[in-house]
A and B are shown apart, each in its own frame.
Chain A
Amino acid sequence: VIRVAAVGDLHAGLDSKGSFAACAEGLAESADCLLLAGDLTRVGDPAEARVLAEDLARAEVPVVAVLGNHDHHTDRADQVVDILAEVGVTVLEGSSTVVEVGEWTLGIAGVKGFGGGFAGACATAFGEPAMKAFVRHTEEVAAALERELCDLRTDVRIALTHYAPTDTTLRGERLEIYPFLGSFLLGEAIDRAGCELAVHGHAHAGCERGVTAGGGRVRNVAQPVLRRGYAVYSLTPSQRVLPV
């Protein structure tokens, strides 16, 4: 069994020093790795990243992350990535990594993702350049996620995003903001490639458990949804879901 801890939307700020330390310290007892589903900081200030990095340095398991929209706000995402990398955090964006857990291998493909909405109420690349750019960005990151998942040759595969790949984990959010919370394109990419679990954050008022349109398991691990330090999911390597 592979035990995966996951949480998103920690929103570390200069005043939150040590707030994740207790969680990080005890992690190795309950999990084999930790996934962070974006919005690690409030505004992507490198000083905020250092606050979180100090806590994450206490984790005795591999930590894999994607960034969220908050981490891009001050246009210093590269610095945030570098600071987290200094304490061993692997930050994915259109990329993947493999974690060895005993005799098993866990592959994680990660992208921040983006918005656009879901079936019946989704944006299309039509009209103004700004609208086309919005949708094409989502198309590009979804394609990267599918490519990275397909390339993984591991016993278990996980898709890690900040934005949601399904609207089933958004229940509780206002319908009006669904297009800003995720995109069906991410779900479609996950269903095409196949994986055991998709993990996302971003939807603070959503719900934890959902599925893609193709039936893939999705968990919204935004900390305001979990109401705990992190969730832990145990996966048995033989449970691979075949691509649809």
Chain B
Amino acid sequence: VTEDPYLASHLQVHLAEAVQELDIDIDVLPTAVIVRGTVATEERRRRVLDVVREHAGELEVVSEMRLSELAVQGEQEELR
């Protein structure tokens, strides 16, 4: 459960405005901010964490983010 929902919400707003990532989950714990979500590149992950650190004050920023892995193409679906 997020300890500080206002900070969690403000961090999500900062992420939308600064790096246009709208699908990052933020949990604010007593001593840390947990950042979860999937982004396309390592550079995007670094930028997300930079934004969170900039606005998280003294809280430790813990990344549980993942990089997306895409196959070129999967199975064709036949619609009957």
Contact B79 A235, beta carbon cutoff 8 Å: yes
Q: A15-B41, A42-B20 are in contact. Are A228 and B71 (CB under 8 A)?
A: yes
Q: Within 8 Å of chain A (Cβ to Cβ): is B40? A: yes
Contact B79 A217, beta carbon cutoff 8 Å: yes
Contact B70 A229, beta carbon cutoff 8 Å: yes
**Residue numbers in B under 8 Å from A228 (CB-CB):** 70-74
Q: A23-B72, A26-B72, A70-B20 are in contact. Are A232 and B38 (CB under 8 A)?
A: no
| Size bracket, chain B contacts | 10 to 19
In Å, the complex CA distance between A236 and B78 comes to 9
**Residue numbers in B under 8 Å from A230 (CB-CB):** 73
Contact B76 A223, beta carbon cutoff 8 Å: no
Contact B79 A73, beta carbon cutoff 8 Å: no
Q: Within 8 Å of chain B (Cβ to Cβ): is A224? A: yes
In Å, the complex CA distance between A235 and B79 comes to 6
Closest residue on chain A to residue B38 by CB atoms? A224
Contact of B79 among A16, A30, A196, A205 (CB under 8 A): A196
Q: Within 8 Å of chain B (Cβ to Cβ): is A159? A: no
**Residue numbers in B under 8 Å from A70 (CB-CB):** 20
In Å, the complex CA distance between A40 and B69 comes to 18
Q: Within 8 Å of chain B (Cβ to Cβ): is A57? A: no
21 cross-chain CB contacts under 8 A: A3-B76, A15-B41, A15-B43, A16-B40, A22-B72, A23-B73, A42-B20, A73-B20, A217-B79, A224-B23, A226-B70, A227-B71, A228-B70, A231-B74, A231-B77, A232-B76, A232-B77, A234-B76, A235-B79, A236-B79, A236-B80
Chain A interface (Cβ < 8 Å from any Cβ of B): 3, 11, 15-16, 19, 22-23, 26, 30, 42-43, 70, 73, 196-197, 204-205, 217, 223-224, 226-236, 239
